[in-house]
Structure 1
Amino acid sequence: MMAVPLSVLEVAMVQTDANPVDTLRDTTEFAQKVEALGYRRLWYAEHHHSPAIGAFPPVVLIAHAAASTSSLRLGSGGVLAPNHAPIMLAEQFGTLAALHPDRIDLGIGRGPGTLHEPTARALRRGAGPITDDEYRADVAATLEYLVDEVALGTLPEPWLLVSSPAGAALAAALGLPAAFAHHIRPDNTTAAIDTYRTQFQPSRWCPGPRVLLCVETVCAGTQREADWLAGPMNVVKAALLQGRGDLSFPTPAEAAEHPFTDEERQALAGFRAHQAYGTPGEVGQRLSELVKATGAEELMLVTPVYRLEDRLRSYELVALSS
């Protein structure tokens, strides 16, 4: 049995034989199914200008999912501070929390959400990349606006998305619960969590360190099937290693024919070793090992596979075996 609660990160992959509208329609069924499976929360990630990932604003998806579910916590994982005025984030998520009390999370991240430079500049209205001081000021301002200006009653639960020791130090200084992007930068996880726990300062938001660990997870009836389902995301990852975000999300059959270089295969194998792929027993064991190694109080699973049915089946197998 899994010793900690399980949650879900949805990145809304757009299939090559579908369109973004189909992906949007799937989000309703997806939210209802993961709620029925007993997952604690469902977060949506902010992305832009990617043929493989829908550019759907998390705040809109959260509102829609909250209206079609009853107990599932909904949130951003994350909404990206460089792209939004702090007062707008506070107003949007404060309103959601007032409409859906004790169900809304505000997960804040730093990246632009795109590798396309013109899009990044457009999101920032022509400004350059955000500095460390600007990011800290934006997060602090968002928290202040939530308390001082929005004040609609029940507040959203704020989280900081962390992928480095520097991000961990900021979460600790602000006294925020931290969601660690183990599914993106697993090599940073141990040092970042150590920094967070060591430097944490209690706040009105969180009395002590609180760690959520996000893990890429693909669960199927056999290891071979899990490898097949993981293939499309491997193709996307290989492109990202080259700084490319322009690839569509291929089918598993297309991914099986993709000509990976030896360097890409090595990098993908190294990444995979930190995540959880395989049968329910194998995935459960790996997730338990990660909880033991990191002391995480909660796991968030991201499962970027091609078909909605396969994605839901993966979450079902993990939930039934936990």
Structure 2
Amino acid sequence: MDVPLSILDLAHIGQGETASESLQASVQLAQRAEQWGYRRIWYAEHHNMPRIASSATSVLIGHVAAHTHSIRLGAGGVMLPNHAPLTIAEQFGTLETLFPGRIDLGLGRAPGSDQKTTRALRRDAAAADSFPQDVQELQGYLGDATRVPGVEATPGKGTGVPLYILGSSLFGAKLAAALGLPYSFASHFAPNALEDAVALYRRQFTPSEQLQEPYVIAGVNIIAADTTEQAQEQFQAAKRGRLRQLTGRSFTREEADMALESPAGQQVQQMMTYSAVGTPAEAKDYLDGFAKRAQADELMVASMAPDRDAWLRSVELLADVSGLIPA
């Protein structure tokens, strides 16, 4: 693999699992990924989603960091409209103080929830409008010069926690370029604007203290298995699961397969446009081509494997075929 590989851990709570078991699995994945040579693992902030355990993102990062040694860990991302920038600066400044040189802070402007949950979070629905200003305020708290006179983050000031702008549209690309920050595109579930957004980001990028050259991380789904047939079976199971999640309906296996072929099921198929599925060699070939298409400096893989064993196996096979695991 010509570019570094990292992992997006969705902290999925599987059928019949508890949140505790999901978080234990995240620790296990991080420990294995560290051994296998992945660069970083990110966790995303979601709320009011019964199958996702990463709602308290900074707490999860701290827990995993305490059970690993060297792999970078971060948010992919914190949904900044849900929080005061000072609070996030203090949280991630604390993490960086405890685990120096290992913490990333990816920032998104989506609420990561529905409207009812947004109200429960005590956030104004219009908070996303101030996202650019909030990013700069946060940047000041983590740097050496606060933008709010008389207010500093402790811990936080001077830690220089690296910021990343997350996005799935041209808005994030423009902001990342203007601020001279790395840009992470969510092509693993929102593929449509990938090439246009990356091209715009690279064209408009302005160097900053954090970053002298543009840096793109692109998300991509991955299912690697010992045979092509096994990988395709797992991929179909993942699509059934996504369909149930999006519709809130219970489908039999046969009903889900029929629905996926209908116009209503095309949204699921479209979301999974960028998916490396097959044997390790087939998955690697796909990722090599995807990295070139996305003009990516790094790939963030999200495993869709339907069970824990297949999930870990997929990540291990990819690391092995990519030459990450030491011989």
The alpha carbon displacement at 1:152 in A equals: 4.9
Tell me the number of residue pairs that the alignment of Structure 1 and Structure 2 aligns: 311
| C-alpha contact 2:142 2:159 (8 A) present in aligned 1 | no
1:87 aligns with: 86
**Distance of 1:312 and 1:199 partners within structure 2:** 39
Q: 1:314 to 1:302 in 2, by over 3 A?
A: same
Q: Residue deviations 1:214-256, cap 9 Å, x none? A: 1111111122212222334323433566xx5x569x9xxx656
1:13 aligns with: 12
SS of the aligned residue for 2:184 comes to strand
Could you tell me which runs of 5 or more consecutive residues in structure 1 were left unpaired when the two chains were aligned.
none
**Distance of 2:162 and 2:253 partners within structure 1:** 39
2:115 aligns with: 117
Q: Comparing both chains, which one has the higher relative contact order based on Cα–Cα distances under 8 Å and sequence gaps of 6 or more?
A: 1
**Distance of 2:211 and 2:268 partners within structure 1:** 36
Q: Structure 1 residue aligned with 2:171, among 166, 170, 179?
A: 166
Q: Residue deviations 1:144-187, cap 9 Å, x none? A: 11113235554221111021111100111111111111112111
| C-alpha contact 1:86 1:141 (8 A) present in aligned 2 | yes
Residue 177 (structure 1) aligned with residue 189 (structure 2): no
Q: Residue deviations 1:189-212, cap 9 Å, x none? A: 001001101111111111111011
| C-alpha contact 1:159 1:179 (8 A) present in aligned 2 | yes
| C-alpha contact 2:227 2:279 (8 A) present in aligned 1 | yes
| C-alpha contact 2:97 2:159 (8 A) present in aligned 1 | yes
Q: 1:26 to 1:174 in 2, by over 3 A?
A: same
2:149 aligns with: none
> What does 1:27-46 correspond to in 2, within 5 Å?
27-46=26-45
Query: What code does the residue aligned with 1:127 have?
Result: D
Residue 139 (structure 1) aligned with residue 144 (structure 2): no
The alpha carbon displacement at 1:100 in A equals: 1.0
| 6-15 vs 142-151, greater mean Cα deviation | 142-151
Query: What code does the residue aligned with 2:5 have?
Result: L
Q: 1:255 to 1:197 in 2, by over 3 A?
A: farther
Q: 1:65 to 1:55 in 2, by over 3 A?
A: closer
The alpha carbon displacement at 1:90 in A equals: 0.7
Query: What code does the residue aligned with 2:99 have?
Result: H
Query: What code does the residue aligned with 1:50 have?
Result: M
> What does 1:233-244 correspond to in 2, within 5 Å?
233-239=238-244, 244=247
**Distance of 2:101 and 2:211 partners within structure 1:** 15
**Distance of 2:69 and 2:36 partners within structure 1:** 13
| C-alpha contact 1:4 1:298 (8 A) present in aligned 2 | yes
> What does 1:148-227 correspond to in 2, within 5 Å?
148=146, 149-150=152-153, 151-227=156-232
How high is the TM-score relative to the length of structure 2?
Answer: 0.89
Percent pairwise identity: 40
The alpha carbon displacement at 1:128 in A equals: 1.7
| C-alpha contact 1:231 1:255 (8 A) present in aligned 2 | no
The alpha carbon displacement at 1:135 in A equals: 1.1
| 209-218 vs 261-270, greater mean Cα deviation | 261-270
**Distance of 1:218 and 1:129 partners within structure 2:** 38
Query: What code does the residue aligned with 1:146 have?
Result: L
| C-alpha contact 2:44 2:54 (8 A) present in aligned 1 | no
The alpha carbon displacement at 1:272 in A equals: 3.8
SS of the aligned residue for 1:312 comes to helix
| C-alpha contact 1:34 1:312 (8 A) present in aligned 2 | no
Query: What code does the residue aligned with 2:134 have?
Result: D
1:102 aligns with: 101
SS of the aligned residue for 1:217 comes to strand
Q: 1:22 to 1:240 in 2, by over 3 A?
A: closer
Query: What code does the residue aligned with 2:102 have?
Result: R
| C-alpha contact 1:226 1:279 (8 A) present in aligned 2 | yes
The two structures, once aligned, show a CA RMSD in angstroms of 2.0
Query: What code does the residue aligned with 1:119 have?
Result: T
**Distance of 2:259 and 2:310 partners within structure 1:** 24
The alpha carbon displacement at 1:130 in A equals: 3.1
1:316 aligns with: 316
1:305 aligns with: 305
How high is the TM-score relative to the length of structure 1?
Answer: 0.90
| C-alpha contact 2:45 2:77 (8 A) present in aligned 1 | yes
Q: 1:232 to 1:155 in 2, by over 3 A?
A: farther
Q: 1:65 to 1:255 in 2, by over 3 A?
A: farther
Could you tell me which runs of 5 or more consecutive residues in structure 2 were left unpaired when the two chains were aligned.
147-151, 323-327
**Distance of 1:256 and 1:27 partners within structure 2:** 31
Q: Residue deviations 1:263-318, cap 9 Å, x none? A: 14444444444221111111111100011122211111011333221111001111
**Distance of 2:269 and 2:75 partners within structure 1:** 29
Q: 1:240 to 1:29 in 2, by over 3 A?
A: closer
Query: What code does the residue aligned with 2:139 have?
Result: L
